Structure 1
Amino acid sequence: MRGKQVFSVQCSVSGNAATATPATEQGIRSTLTFRNRQRDRRLNLPFLRRVLRQVLTEQIPATTHDLCFHFVTAEEMARVNWQFLKHEGSTDVITFDYGERSAASGQRSAGLSGEAFIGVADAVKQASEFKTSWQSEVVRYAVHALLHLRGYDDLQPAKRRVMKREENRLMRELAAVFDLDQLETQNSKP
């Protein structure tokens, strides 16, 4: 996509959080946590939770998930980008994959585990460039992160094209079900 990277590292962060932990049919619990540490735009996190639950149950089902999405300032994104990737400046999304892999085959487990840092200011900037809404860009970055956690790679051109096609397909499906502009809320604090 637009400069995304996925890495298997552990990081610790702080900030306000909203977490949902539903029970699955097998009694296994899944978590989806949001941490909003930016004030560039007001985010409707309950709406985003519904959107991502749709992806996690319908489009790229995961038996379980333990996921955290951090919505950060350009300054914080630049710090994360430098600390973990040694790249200068902000970027749109960075994904950290904590998923388990089989030692024998290297295959991923059926569940997803990881964190994604999403630069909301970058979404606003790129929305103008790509003639879309910043809300759609934020959802795209979250979908992109989920695809990385599902095993998609965008470091080589051929794999990048495959991932981009899947990302575009998922975005079309989500746009058919949700008005993605609802990601912005007027009734809550940023």
Structure 2
Amino acid sequence: GPGRRSSLTLVNRHPGREVNLPALRRIAQALLRETWPGCRFDLGIYMVAAAEMARLNETFLRHSGSTDVITFDYAQSPGAGAQPGPPPALLHGEILVCLDEAISQARRFRTTWQSELIRYVVHGVLHLRGYDDRSHRLRQQMKKAEDGLVRRLAGRFDFGALG
């Protein structure tokens, strides 16, 4: 019912890379609160290695190889994707982020893996919010929202504290 508390689950399943989960929790909560105040959430964020991400990508999306982020949306949001509408009463989903991908992309884009990790989390949350990247126009719109949120969070938090 309406009294349900929000819940945020963070799990690092990567065998070789430590992540400061309390720091990530603070950033993720700020992202959720500031972007959609009053919206309850039941969200899991899982950090995985490339091998696990490749399996998930193959199993659920029928794509081969690893990828940066996969989002599972469990909220019923009819017609989501056309246009970001009013926030759903509950954001409900799971975001899987590949730390290996964050590390290699960070090298490519001359940024840090921590900053890439936050970008993936932001990307996943935007998907749960109804943003879509299936067409060029929608992708541009989503990228603009993503860049703005990453910048705002970077101004408030030290991403370096993530690991």
Deviations 1:92-137 (A, max 9, x none): 100000012359xx97622200001110000000000011000000
Q: Is the 8 A contact 2:57 2:66 kept in 1?
A: yes
Task: Output aligned runs, 1:41-190, within 5 Å.
Answer: 41-61=17-37, 63-101=39-77, 109-184=88-163
Q: Which segment is superposed worse, 106-115 or 164-173?
A: 106-115
Q: Distance in 2 between matches of 1:147 and 1:102?
A: 16
- Greater helix proportion: 2
Deviations 1:28-49 (A, max 9, x none): 2111001211133210000000
Q: Distance in 2 between matches of 1:38 and 1:134?
A: 14
Q: Distance in 2 between matches of 1:150 and 1:80?
A: 22
By how many angstroms is 1:147 displaced? 0.2
Q: Considering only aligned residues, what root-mean-square deviation do their CA atoms show, in Å?
A: 1.8
Q: Which runs of at least 4 in structure 1 moved beyond 4 Å after TM superposition? A: none
Q: Is the 8 A contact 1:154 1:160 kept in 2?
A: yes
Q: Distance in 2 between matches of 1:62 and 1:95?
A: 22
Whether 1:27 aligns to 2:6 is: no
Unaligned runs of 5+ in 2: none
What one-letter code is carried by the residue in structure 2 that aligns with 1:35?
Answer: V
Q: Distance in 2 between matches of 1:61 and 1:120?
A: 29
Q: Distance in 2 between matches of 1:163 and 1:130?
A: 19
Task: Count residues with an aligned counterpart.
Answer: 157
Q: Is the 8 A contact 1:147 1:163 kept in 2?
A: yes
Give the TM-score normalised by structure 2.
0.90
Unaligned runs of 5+ in 1: 1-25, 185-190
SS in 2 for 1:136: helix
Q: Distance in 2 between matches of 1:62 and 1:126?
A: 34
Q: Is the 8 A contact 1:40 1:120 kept in 2?
A: no
Give the TM-score normalised by structure 1.
0.78
Q: Is the 8 A contact 2:88 2:129 kept in 1?
A: no
